[in-house]
Amino acid sequence: MASFLSAPNSEGRVMIEVRVVPVTPLQQNCTLLWCGKTRKAVVIDPGGDIERIHAAIGESNVAVERILLTHGHIDHVGAAVPLAEALAVPIEGPQREDGFLIEGAYLARQCAMFGLPPTAGFTPARWLDDGDEIRVGDETLRVIHAPGHTPGHVVYFHAGARLALVGDVLFAGSIGRTDFPRGDHPALVHAIRDRLFPLGDDVKFIPGHGPISTFGEERANNPYVGDGLR
Ligand SMILES: [Zn+2]
């Protein structure tokens, strides 16, 4: 199943288009996102199943310029290095506090934990920080540091399209696990309530797993971070 989303602006011009490709046995939502005008693209969280990602790129007729990572868990980064090599593009993100997850032997341990083929550690071409901007053709994604699930987790936000790619920070009806190394539940709740929800109830988000929702829906009904908590 690959879902497709097109985000027109107020004049009806398509600013960005998105195609979600669930990958790995964990059905991680790898996302191909491109500028509707130039068809320049990014791949966010290529966790595995590289042939399916290549197929989505080919079918969408887009030119990938970089790979973006939300955080260092194996189901989000597993195919990053081979895809970067095949496309001759850089890997950018996450924030450098996730370095311990991807730079060394810990990545192989993650593979063993989830029964995935072993992957060598790597260092992204660029670590990202809160407030950084990523150009995608004529469009811009803003980087928001949202620690808690992992310490260096980042979210990508397109203000005009009202769309956020939140990785494993927030899900429809749930939030990210915090029982992995350096997980921090209070930090995660703070990131969601004080950094993501203020972006607006109308913002749609693509989570790392499961269906798309909106911040407004989660504020109203999410049992972990909804307004009913306070
Ligand atoms: Zn994760």
CA of 127 to the centre of ligand 1 (A): 18
230 is a domain residue:
no
Residue 120 banded pLDDT, cuts 50, 70, 90: confident
Write out the residue range of the structural domain in which residue 199 sits: 3-225
Structural contact between residues 107 and 121, judged by C-beta atoms closer than 8 angstroms:
yes
Q: What's the 11 CA to ligand 1 centre distance in angstroms?
A: 37
**What φ, ψ does residue 37 adopt, rounded to 5°?**
-85, -50
Does 84 map to a domain? yes
CA of 208 to the centre of ligand 1 (A): 8
- Does any domain span residue 88? yes
Q: Are strands 40-44 and 63-68 parallel, antiparallel or unpaired?
A: parallel
From 150, 151, 144, 152, select the one nearest 215 (Cα to Cα). 144
Report whether pLDDT(13) > 80: no
> 9 pLDDT exceeds 80?
no
Starting from the edge strand earliest in sequence, which strands make up the sheet with 63-68, in order?
3-8, 14-23, 28-35, 40-44, 63-68, 91-92
How far is ligand 1, taken at its centre, from the CA of residue 168, in Å?
5
Straight-line distance from the first to the last Cα atom of the chain, in angstroms, rounded to the nearest whole number: 37
pLDDT digits (tens, 9 = 90+) for 52-106: 999 999 999 999 999 999 999 999 999 999 999 999 999 999 999 999 999 988 8
CATH number, domain with residue 36:
3.60.15.10
Structure tokens at 198: 């203020």
Mean pLDDT for the stretch of residues 181-207 = 97
User: Considering the entire predicted model, what is its pTM?
Assistant: 0.94
What are the residues whose beta carbons fall under 8 Å from the beta carbon of 54, sequence distance 6 or more? 83, 86
Number of domains the chain contains: 1
